Structure 1
Amino acid sequence: MTGSATYQSVFLRDLRLSTAHSLVTQSGAPGQGLPNETPTRYLQALIDGLCELSLRDPLTGLANRRHFRSVLEREVDRMARSGEAALLLMLDIDHFKKINDTHGHIAGDMVLQSVARTLLGCVRPMDTLARYGGEEFAIVLPSCQATYGRAIAERIREAVESTMIRVSPALALNVSVSIGGAYALQWIRSTTQLWIERADNQLYQAKSAGRNRICIEEQPDSTVSAEEKSMLFGPLSTYYPPADVDRSTVPLADASGRHTGR
């Protein structure tokens, strides 16, 4: 808004809110309605509800791809600043097309919902679990050290494999998942697309190797030493003489700070 913008009252009766109202109320808990004490509270609750719907997958209730990508962008930025490890897991339900073809799409939807609930029971509150698309899911795990990544992925794989999914009174199914993973590059401002591609490549390898297994990319050694951090974040005056000093008389320094002469 600019300084010259004018404000005027808006009456709810002049807005077409019936569709938005239905979407928000139908997606909430039974009996939970929008507040109606004041028009402002009602409208704010309606806007908040629509924002929440725009970030959720309607079938599983998980974060959707839009929300997932925004979380991934923040995590890449945090990684570049802090250097803490973070793991991205991409998961795909094995032979899902066969489930749809054999038992129907309703059974397929029930499988997706069941797997989503199982995955929710395997992640921490700080993790982000999303339905990436179709039968594929994604999990962003901040502060996940390389020594624990494979164990976490194996626990997820076992949990899905051991869960019986009842799709009708006479039919129960078991499914498995293939999992690919990649760590964010520490101290490097990479891109979300590159991170996804690296994890997706590992998922492809897991499926090519027979499915129902895990492939996690080896994390490169990106440890930054104390001396390197000092060079990256220390004051420039440590390495560069003031502007009024004849630089030809100042000895050079190597990466460790030792003078090397000319």
Structure 2
Amino acid sequence: MPTPAASPAASSHLVDLHDLRLDEARALVSPVTNKATAPPNATRYLQSMIDGLCELSLRDPLTGLANRRHFLNVVECEIDRVARSGESALLLLLDIDHFKHVNDTHGHLAGDRVLQEVARILATCVRPMDTLARYGGEEFAVVLPGCQAAFGHTVAERIRQSVEAASIRVASSKEVHVTISIGGAFALQWIRSTASLWVDRADLQLYKAKAAGRNRVHIEEQPSSTVTAEEKGLLFGTLYPPSGWDDPSPQNPTDSAF
């Protein structure tokens, strides 16, 4: 079976180690290097090399998506943002159904091609502000900031349908179709939760989608975490008047409209 070409979406996100010219960088930082004879753009080159290595450390090498480390960092930042702003955020976990069957039937190279193509499809379904990651194996994750509860299921369903409709070529004369199951959970507004708890809640919904027959979406209802005006005052260091208190200043009876 011929080896499928790498996904353009994946390769465009990856840094080629040859482009980093690590041997030249090592020479530049060597103690024996004469700083006076170093090329004038040495600092700029070293910075670009560092940036390239950082990019490599945050990307999955097969799909070009964010890796698990980067994803968890984003989750932590989003939890902090939602705790301070009270805005909505949705976390989706997506798993390719019966992926082992693809590997067993068509081989691991075909399985890799399926992962790359699913990653490409998912990338077309999310916004630039969203974070799409390969969470592990055949599992992906998406963090969607500012996603209201009314739209969560619609977004997830559009993603599911896009994968289901795709024909994935794994050989010159062979195409396969796969489906995904999706579980989702909203961040707790005004509450500083943890990354592991948020992921666990989404994972529970993914398990429910699998148990219900796969190729479906299961999203937890957005939990109620309403914060009163007084509590907001404590959060931000601003004293809000109690609810129902229109104006604490005394009024002149002659100012009354009656």
In structure 2, list runs of 5 or more residues that go unmatched.
1-14, 21-38, 246-258
Of the candidates 186, 208, 212, which is equivalent to residue 211 of structure 2? Answer: 208
1:24–1:46 Cα contact (<8 Å) kept = no
Letter in 2 for 1:153: A
AA paired with 2:151?
Answer: Y
Taking structure 2 as the reference length, what is the TM-score of the superposition? 0.77
Q: Residues 63 and 116 of structure 2 are in contact (CA less than 8 Å); yes or no, is this contact kept in structure 1?
A: yes
Matches within 5 A, 1:8-47: 23=17, 25=19, 38-47=41-50
Residue 198 of structure 1 pairs with residue 201 of structure 2: yes
Alignment map for 1:143-182 (pairs within 5 Å): 143-182=146-185
Structure 1: tracts of 5 or more residues without a match: 1-20, 27-35, 240-254
What's the TM-score, normalizing by structure 1? 0.76
How high is the sequence identity, in percent, across the aligned residues?
69
Larger RCO, structures 1/2 (Cα 8 Å, 6+ apart) = 2
Q: Which residue of 1 aligns with 2:226?
A: 223
CA contact (8 A) 1:24 1:50 kept: no
Q: In the alignment, what sits opposite 1:135?
A: 138
Contact 1:90 1:136 in 2 (8 A): yes
Q: CA deviation at 1:131?
A: 0.1
Corresponding residue number in structure 2 for 1:59: 62
Q: CA RMSD in A?
A: 2.1
Question: What is the deviation of 1:37?
Answer: 6.0
Q: Report SS of the residue matched to 2:51.
A: helix
Q: Is the 8 A contact 2:67 2:135 kept in 1?
A: yes
Dislocated runs of 4+, deviation >2 Å? 223-236, 255-258
Once the two structures are superposed, the pairs formed by residues 105-144 of structure 1 within 5 Å of their partners are 105-144=108-147
Structure 2 counterpart SS, 1:212: coil
AA in 1 matched with 2:201: R
8 Å CA contact 2:79, 2:194 repeated in 1: yes
CA distance 1:37–1:91, shift in 2 (3 Å): farther
Aligned equivalents of 1:161, 1:199: Cα separation in 2: 21
Residue 164 of structure 2 contacts residue 179 of structure 2 at CA under 8 Å; is this kept in 1? yes
